[in-house]
Chain A
Amino acid sequence: MKRCYYFSLLFIVALLYACKPEKTKGLVGRVFGYKPVYSTSADLFIIENKPAKAVVHAGKIYVKDNFIFQNEVGEGVHIIDNSNPANAARVGFIKIKGSQEIAIKGNFLYSNNYNDLVTVDITDIAKVKEASRIHNAFYSTNSLQVPPAGGGYFECADNKKGVVTGWIKDSIDNPTCSN
Chain B
Amino acid sequence: MRYLLLFFTLIILSSCDKALVESTNSANSPNGTGGSLARFTLAGNYLYVVENTSLKTYDVSNASNPILKNTVQVGGSIETIYPYKNTLFIGSQSGMFIYTIDNPAAPKYLGAATHMRSCDPVVANDTAAFVTLRSGSACGSPADGVYFYSITDLLHPALVLTLNLGTPYGLGLHDSTLFVCRGINGLSVINVHNIHAPVTMQTITGSDFRDVIPFNGLLICYVTDGIVLYDISNVANIKFIKKVLNS
Q: Report which A residues bind B (CB closer than 8 A).
A: 54-56, 58, 60-65, 68-70, 80, 82, 85-90, 100-108, 110-111, 117, 119, 121, 131-132, 134, 137-141, 149-150
Contact A105 B227 (CB under 8 A): no
Contact A105 B42 (CB under 8 A): yes
Q: A103-B32, A117-B58, A140-B52 are in contact. Are A63 and B213 (CB under 8 A)?
A: yes
Contact A132 B39 (CB under 8 A): no
Contact B247 A85 (CB under 8 A): no
- Told that A89-B244, A90-B244 touch, could you supply 11 new A-B pairs with CB distance under 8 A? A54-B247, A58-B224, A61-B222, A61-B227, A63-B220, A64-B32, A70-B222, A105-B31, A108-B63, A110-B40, A138-B51
Q: Does B187 sit within 8 A of A, measured CB to CB? A: no
Closest residue on chain A to residue B32 by CB atoms: A64
A105 contact set on B, CB distance < 8 A: 30-32, 42, 47, 60, 63
Bound CA span A106–B141, Å: 38
Contact B220 A55 (CB under 8 A): no
Q: Does B194 sit within 8 A of A, measured CB to CB? A: no
Closest residue on chain A to residue B30 by CB atoms: A106
Contact B35 A60 (CB under 8 A): yes
What's the least CB distance linking B161 to chain A, in Å? Answer: 29
Contact A61 B213 (CB under 8 A): yes
Instruction: Identify which of A65, A107, A134 contacts B68 (C-beta below 8 A).
Output: A134
Bound CA span A70–B41, Å: 15
Contact A61 B42 (CB under 8 A): no
Contact A103 B138 (CB under 8 A): no
Instruction: Identify which of A89, A121, A139 contacts B51 (C-beta below 8 A).
Output: A139
Contact A132 B65 (CB under 8 A): yes
Closest residue on chain B to residue A146 by CB atoms: B52
B224 contact set on A, CB distance < 8 A: 58
- Chain B: interface residue count, which band? 35 or more
**Contact mask for chain B residues 11-52; partner A; CB cutoff 8 A; 1 contact, 0 none:** 000000000000000000011111101111110000101011
Contact B66 A60 (CB under 8 A): no
Q: A103-B34, A110-B47 are in contact. Are A60 and B65 (CB under 8 A)?
A: no
Closest residue on chain A to residue B35 by CB atoms: A61
Contact B31 A119 (CB under 8 A): no
**Which residues between 40 and 87 of chain B lie within 8 Å of chain A, taking CB atoms?**
40-42, 47, 49, 51-53, 56, 58, 60, 63-66, 68
Contact A62 B244 (CB under 8 A): no
Q: Does B147 sit within 8 A of A, measured CB to CB? A: no
Q: Does B234 sit within 8 A of A, measured CB to CB? A: no
A64 contact set on B, CB distance < 8 A: 32-33
Contact A88 B222 (CB under 8 A): no
B37 contact set on A, CB distance < 8 A: 60
Q: Does B215 sit within 8 A of A, measured CB to CB? A: yes
B215 contact set on A, CB distance < 8 A: 63
Bound CA span A60–B38, Å: 7
Contact B34 A55 (CB under 8 A): no
A150 contact set on B, CB distance < 8 A: 138
8 sample A-B contacts, Cβ–Cβ < 8 Å, listed by A number: A61-B222, A62-B32, A64-B33, A88-B229, A103-B38, A105-B63, A110-B66, A134-B66
Contact A55 B66 (CB under 8 A): no
Closest residue on chain A to residue B39 by CB atoms: A101
**Contact mask for chain B residues 108-140; partner A; CB cutoff 8 A; 1 contact, 0 none:** 000000000000000000000000000000100
Instruction: Identify which of B47, B51, B53 contacts A103 (C-beta below 8 A).
Output: B47
Bound CA span A65–B33, Å: 9
What's the least CB distance linking A7 to chain B, in Å? Answer: 46
Question: Interface centre among B40, B53, B211, by most A CB within 10 Å?
Answer: B40
A110 contact set on B, CB distance < 8 A: 40, 47, 60, 66
B220 contact set on A, CB distance < 8 A: 61, 63, 68, 82
Closest residue on chain B to residue A117 by CB atoms: B66
Instruction: Identify which of B58, B63, B64, B227 contacts A70 (C-beta below 8 A).
Output: B227
Q: A137-B68, A140-B52 are in contact. Are A101 and B38 (CB under 8 A)?
A: yes
